[in-house]
């Protein structure tokens, strides 16, 4: 799944959640974050939930193409485990 926006916030969480559920029902969930520079805590929380769901379903959740700015936001939130691929 690829994003066309450079910022993901609480305003996109509901539609993002629905998209993630649709993707998960089909396959592993790999999010291409190439165009995303900023996320807020609501999106990080959604990613944590998606990672947990993936683990419980024996599926993969991964963030790809995370730039330095976004990686720093995730690290500052103490959620840098989201940057590690799991399988």
Angle between helix 10-26 and 41-56 (nearest 10): 20
Tokens of 24: 């998960």
Is 27 contained in some domain?
A: yes
What domain range is 73 assigned to? 7-83
Task: Tell me which residue of 17, 21, 32 sits closest to 57, measured CA to CA.
Answer: 21
Listing DSSP states for 35-80 in one string gives T--EE-HHHHHHHHHHHHHHHHTT--EEEES--HHHHHHHHHTT-G
Q: What is the pLDDT of residue 87?
A: 43
Is 49 contained in some domain?
A: yes
pTM summary value? 0.87
pLDDT for 17-75, tens place per residue? 999 888 887 788 899 999 999 999 999 999 999 999 999 988 999 999 999 999 999 99
Going from the C-alpha of 40 to that of each of 22, 28, 55, 61, the distances in angstroms are: 22, 23, 23, 19
Is 58 contained in some domain?
A: yes
Is 68 contained in some domain?
A: yes
CATH classification of the domain holding 21: 3.30.750.24
Is 1 contained in some domain?
A: no
Q: What is the tally of structural domains in the chain?
A: 1
Is 62 contained in some domain?
A: yes
């Amino acid at each position: 799944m690829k994003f066309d926006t450079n910022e993901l916030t609480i305003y996109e969480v509901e539609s993002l959640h629905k998209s993630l559920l649709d993707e998960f029902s089909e396959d592993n969930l790999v999010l291409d974050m190439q165009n995303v520079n900023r996320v807020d805590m609501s999106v990080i929380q959604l990613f944590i939930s998606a990672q947990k769901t993936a683990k419980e379903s024996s599926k993969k959740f991964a963030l790809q193409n995370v730039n330095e700015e976004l990686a720093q936001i995730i690290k500052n939130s103490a959620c840098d485990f989201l940057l590690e691929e799991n399988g």
